[in-house]
Amino acid sequence: MKTTIRELAGLCDAEILCGNPDRPIASAANIEEAQSNQLAFLADREQSAKLQSTGAGAVIVPEGISLEGTVPGTCLLAVPDSVMAFIACLKRLYPAKRNPGTVSAGAQTDPSATLGDGTFVDRFAAIGAGTIIGKDCRVSSGCRIGDDVTIGDHCVLHPNVVLYDGVSLGDHVIIHAGTVIGADGYGYKFRNGEHVKFPQVGTVVIESNVEIGANACIDRGALGATRIGKGTKIDNQVHIAHNVKVGAGVLILGQVGIGGSTVIEDYAILASQSGVTDHVTIGKGAMVLAQAGVTKDVAAQDKVMGFPAANRTAALRERAALRRLAARQKEIEELVRLLPKLRQPEC
């Protein structure tokens, strides 16, 4: 979608510092690769040297940035928060796809299902009995929505998403391709030489403004609900086991695995490839660093790393001490060799 620099400046209340504000802008790019018809941005003033070589037609910059050496003809838009201004402009340059508000001929919708105004169901999607979908939602090709599912307003299900029976989504939920919500949790009891399945009769509740990446799996509760709090963002290839409680504003990065009945409190962060065992609590605002293995509770605001996961500062000190010991290994061995002589009584 083409627009002018002047229009973008008005959208984000920016001050136009130099350049031609009537130049058309067609798209956006990073500052190193942007062309004359593209918009870029600088996240902070320390990156101002990039203005000396950019080919962008316009750059959103933080207020107070140095303009020395800026490429002639590049238009600069100064704002208090360049990242949020750039996001606002991206929404203008890349508007959301409009729903046709119809059910495609190739879709299968149970007669007892209810669809809100403006909701679009693409071909080869299937919607089960008693399901309620709010207004202005998009159900893409290949999605399978079970019976008695509830979906709020303005939700987007990308291709091949599966929602099992009884799952509930709030408003403004986005689920990317291939994700499965509500499959049975991994629950078995060993009796008489075999693993007996514990029936998984609970559900999954996903609150509003949650986004879930591609090929993620969130299991239904054995009893009760697995719950994902409002505003939480879940990356690709994440597994959340049965009866996990995830708070509000949590960030869960790619390839994280969370064991059953664990509690992740508000605004915690689980970095890539970290794992959390079952029945533990990750405190509010805590951070689990990449590839950490959590086997016990993590306190609020703590940062943990390694396996078993431990406080980051303490773990780094321990590693530094081990490195110092390794560097003096020969001296330690010599002391050990001399120790029997040192222990002999004096004559």
List Cβ neighbours of 143 (8 Å cut-off, separation of 6 or more): 122, 125, 126, 157, 159, 160, 161, 162, 163
Phi, psi of 67 (to 5 degrees): -100, 5
Predicted TM-score (pTM) of the model is: 0.87
**Rounded Cα distance, 278 and 243, in Å:** 10
3-state SS string for 248-277: CCCEECCCCEECCCCEECCCCEECCCCEEC
Domain ranges of the chain: 3-93, 108-310
Residue in 176, 195, 242, 279 annotated catalytic? 242
Neighbours of 116 (CB within 10 A): 16
Q: How far does the chain reach from its first CA to its final CA, in angstroms?
A: 96
Classify domain 3-93 at the CATH topology level: 3.40.1390
Spatial contact of 249 and 231, defined as CB atoms under 8 Å apart: yes
Query: For each of the chain's 347 residues, which pLDDT tens digit applies?
Result: 679 999 999 999 999 988 888 999 999 999 999 999 999 999 988 888 899 999 999 999 999 888 777 888 899 999 999 999 999 999 999 998 777 778 888 999 999 999 999 999 999 999 999 999 999 999 999 999 999 999 999 999 999 999 999 999 999 999 999 999 999 999 999 999 999 999 999 999 999 999 999 999 999 999 999 999 999 999 999 999 999 999 999 999 999 999 999 999 999 999 999 999 999 999 999 999 999 999 999 999 999 998 888 888 888 888 788 788 788 888 888 788 888 877 776 65
Residues shown for the chain: 347
Indicate the fold that domain 108-310 takes in CATH. Answer: UDP N-Acetylglucosamine Acyltransferase; domain 1 (2.160.10)
Residue type, 68: E
3-state helix, strand, coil in the chain (%, to 5): 15, 30, 55
Q: Is position 172 annotated as part of the catalytic site?
A: no
How far, in Å, CA of 344 to CA of 341, rounded? 5
